Structure 1
Amino acid sequence: MRTSRLVLDLLCHRAKKVIASRANSSCVTPYVQGQSPRKNIREYFYYIDHQGMLFLDDSKMKNFTSCFKDKEFLVFFFKRIRPNETDRYVEFPYISLCGRERNYIRCDDTPLVFTHVRPAENGPGDIFCYGHAGDLMHLRFEPDKLFMCPTTGRVYHPCEERFGSVGLVMSKLAIEISPRFSFENGENRPPTKFQWKDKLHNLDNQWYFKYRS
């Protein structure tokens, strides 16, 4: 019913290698924060890390002290995220349009990162909160749709199409819930079951492969 301590250590190690690899391989077209490519347009550039924290892309130190924390701003920003379908800065796959501002976004993994689960206030079930805005942004939590990637240890959950349909679970939370997974096909394959609130869920992994194939 749960992974071994060895497996959890291995998954954490693999995730750290992936994070380091992505950070070192990024190649971004030169830009200036607040640049104006034409009248009444301003362009800004952001980065979302694997914990779901939002930074200015060119911040030298990316940690809790330098990320954006104002919940009202975060809700405003995240509610406007969509794929970058412009012909500018294709290495920033997402954009948040805020009036005359074009906010280009690149990510360590996904633009939406789930941070915590809490009971729904209206109706049964739970909600999955994201974006570090408390409970202001959330989707319905579907425990049978959790997917753990065996090569990285990262855990994913479905999200809205405008975010790419695949949301990452924050690493701290992923480690906390990892003992709830069952690996009936071996620990080198995705888990098959997940225990949540006294119910053992059969995991549906097909949604993940549909969007990440």
Structure 2
Amino acid sequence: MIQCRLHPIIRTFFQQFTSQRHTVTYVQGQEHEPKIREYFYFIDHQGMLFLDDAKMKNFTSCFKEKKFLEFFFKRIRRNTTGRYEDDFPFISLCGRERNYIRCDDVPIVYTHIFYNKSEDEYFLTYGYVGDSLKMMFMPDKIYMLPETGRLYHPAEDKYGGIGLVRSKLAIELSKYFEFSEGEANPPTQFIWQNKKYTLDQYWLHKNISKHKIKLRSKPD
């Protein structure tokens, strides 16, 4: 069984650190209800997971333990607790712990693409745990948001239906785009494995409406 807290030093840090961001004030490890502890996390645009309080958010300070990451990401849901919903729109539940999550954009960030020979399909991975967290790649569903240039791909409904494509992977995939309406407009076709796909220009906005997702509106 995966333990939610990986090391006693981290628990001590949580309990001692108080954070205030804009109008949101919390204490890591606080008990709003008896025996229900609350913790606060941040997922950046590369898909890395951090303590929300971390002053420095880079590779050295992100969580790297694969068992914990898999456990955490599998349990991400929309935050419908009535607490911190505006600032922490997602949550990962772990027993008696509520792990509130805010994101640079969306909680699922696809980091790599790989071919599964046994299934004869390509998959996108997320969470930095190898291929244990994956989504089947749908070439016709890649969407470039004109306002930011970011690429998106569908995700499971429990995650809000939308996943961001990590910038490094986005650059790799962008060479397969065709722009029949000019490069000032979103791409219209995607050439993948010698097949040309007409891109679905509507799925993203449908999922935004369906799941009430707010995407990052400012360019990097």
Q: Structure 1: how far apart are the matches of 2:22 and 2:156?
A: 27
Match of 2:49 among 11, 31, 54: 54
- Indicate whether 1:161 and 2:157 are aligned: yes
Instruction: Give the aligned partner of residue 62 of structure 2.
Output: 67
Which of 1 and 2 has higher RCO (CA within 8 Å, sep 6+)?
A: 1
- Indicate whether 1:38 and 2:33 are aligned: yes
**Structure 1, residues 39-79: CA drift from partner, whole Å, max 9, x if none?**
11110000000000000001000000000011110110011
Match of 1:94 among 66, 85, 90: 90
- Indicate whether 1:110 and 2:109 are aligned: no
Deviation of the 1:193 alpha carbon: 0.6
Match of 1:191 among 178, 182, 187: 187
Deviation of the 1:212 alpha carbon: 2.6
Q: Which runs of 4+ in 1 moved over 4 A?
A: none
1:132-151 to 2 correspondences below 5 Å? 132-151=128-147
> Secondary structure, in 3 states, of the residue corresponding to 1:172?
helix
The percentage of counterpart residues that share the same residue type is 59
Q: TM-score, normalised by structure 1?
A: 0.85
- Indicate whether 1:124 and 2:120 are aligned: yes
Instruction: Give the aligned partner of residue 168 of structure 2.
Output: 172
Residue segments in structure 1 that go unaligned for 5+ positions in a row: 1-25
**Structure 1, residues 90-113: CA drift from partner, whole Å, max 9, x if none?**
210000000010000000000000
Question: How many residue pairs end up in the alignment?
Answer: 188
Q: Structure 2: how far apart are the matches of 1:92 and 1:181?
A: 34
Contact 1:150–1:187 (Cα < 8 Å) also in 2: no
| Structure richer in strand, relative to its length | 2
Q: TM-score, normalised by structure 2?
A: 0.82
Q: Give the letter for the 2:193 counterpart.
A: K
Q: Give the letter for the 1:42 counterpart.
A: R
> Secondary structure, in 3 states, of the residue corresponding to 1:132?
coil
Q: Structure 2: how far apart are the matches of 1:27 and 1:157?
A: 31
Instruction: Give the aligned partner of residue 22 of structure 2.
Output: 27
Q: Structure 1: how far apart are the matches of 2:22 and 2:170?
A: 29
Instruction: Give the aligned partner of residue 209 of structure 1.
Output: 205
> Secondary structure, in 3 states, of the residue corresponding to 1:85?
coil
Q: Structure 1: how far apart are the matches of 2:77 and 2:22?
A: 21
Deviation of the 1:28 alpha carbon: 5.2
Contact 1:41–1:100 (Cα < 8 Å) also in 2: yes
> Secondary structure, in 3 states, of the residue corresponding to 2:112?
strand
Q: Structure 1: how far apart are the matches of 2:77 and 2:121?
A: 28
RMSD: 1.2
